Amino acid sequence: MKSIKAGCLDIHYHEVGPEGGEPVILLHGFPYDAHAYDAVAANLGGRGYRCLVPYLRGYGPTCFLSPLTMRSGQQAALGADLLAFMDALSIGTAFLGGYDWGGRAACIVAALWPERARGLVSCGQGYNIQNIANAANPAPAVVEARYWYMYYFHTERGRAGLIHSRRDICRHIWSLWSPSWRFSDVVWDATAPSFDNPDFVEIVLHSYRHRFGGIPGDPAYDDIETQLAAQPDISVSSIVLQGRDDGVDPPVAEDCDHSHFTGFYERRIIDSAGHNLPQEAPEEFAAAIVALAEKH
């Protein structure tokens, strides 16, 4: 494992593949960690790509440089972290891949700084930029029911749950969101310690409370949030992967995200895969990165 000071963080990350290879940055979601990309990175590294897999803020050994920095989990912070990570490593442009929180960071950089993204692989919600201004509008009941954890995290009972039972909560979420994934105790045990990060609880709570407009964000990211409020389009070449068995964001017949992509775009629905798509279907994820690289 390596680490580098980037923005307000000391970001820890795995690097796989030759240092001179085409850079690919792979970003995990909640509640997972960098191990979600072990097989993807091995696949791409063996093909000559330089894969960089960071632990997001609040996960694993990644930590803040100052105790005074707000422990924000808002979308703009995640995008800024990715940009700072690239700057710190002097990576001008890279292929970006992610899902859940990590997919949101990748979409933000691809939308606001398209010159930094050679291509984008986004899983689940393909256009993963939150529309916070409309977040109070209710969804159909079947959708709202899948968001039980978001409402739970708005309560002090949810805070107590994350403090005292975070591993139980996260493992339950794994089983709900990926019902066809039979992960082993070995796989779980590799990731679970990442949730012991001292900032995990505050960042998770802030993420889910901020996205509904209930609490303010870090003023340091106001400019980015203003740009994201306009729901900017993504012009870089993109492939969206959706697991057919995703228990929280199941694919639907109508591709509602396509209109936000103005360059090359393709949606692929992956059978027998759920929310944690890169760990459940690593060959398909790696193939999407390679397909984008072959377009250049």
Evaluate whether 149 touches 247 at the Cβ level (below 8 Å).
no
Per-residue model confidence (pLDDT) at position 295: 86
234-261 exposure pattern, b = at least 16 Cβ within 10 A, e = fewer: bebbbbbbbbebbbbbbbeeeeebeebb
Mean pLDDT over 142-154 rounds to: 97
Q: Using one digit for the tens of pLDDT, what is the confidence trace for 21-39? A: 999 999 999 999 999 999 9
Helix residue ranges, H only, 153-199: 156-177, 185-191
Q: Which domains does the chain show, CATH number per domain? A: 2-294 (3.40.50.1820)
Q: Is the dihedral of CA 137, 143, 144, 150 positive or negative?
A: negative
Closest alpha carbon to 238 in 151, 141, 119: 119
Compute the chain's Rg from CA coordinates. 18
Secondary structure element (H or E) that encloses residue 15, with its range: strand 9-16
Strands 2-6 and 9-16, by their bridges, are antiparallel
- pTM of structure: 0.98
Residue type, 235: S
Mean pLDDT over 155-171 rounds to: 98
Terminal CA-to-CA distance of the chain, rounded, Å? 30
To the nearest whole number, what is the mean pLDDT of the chain? 97
Residue type, 224: I
Q: Using one digit for the tens of pLDDT, what is the confidence trace for 77-87? A: 999 999 999 99
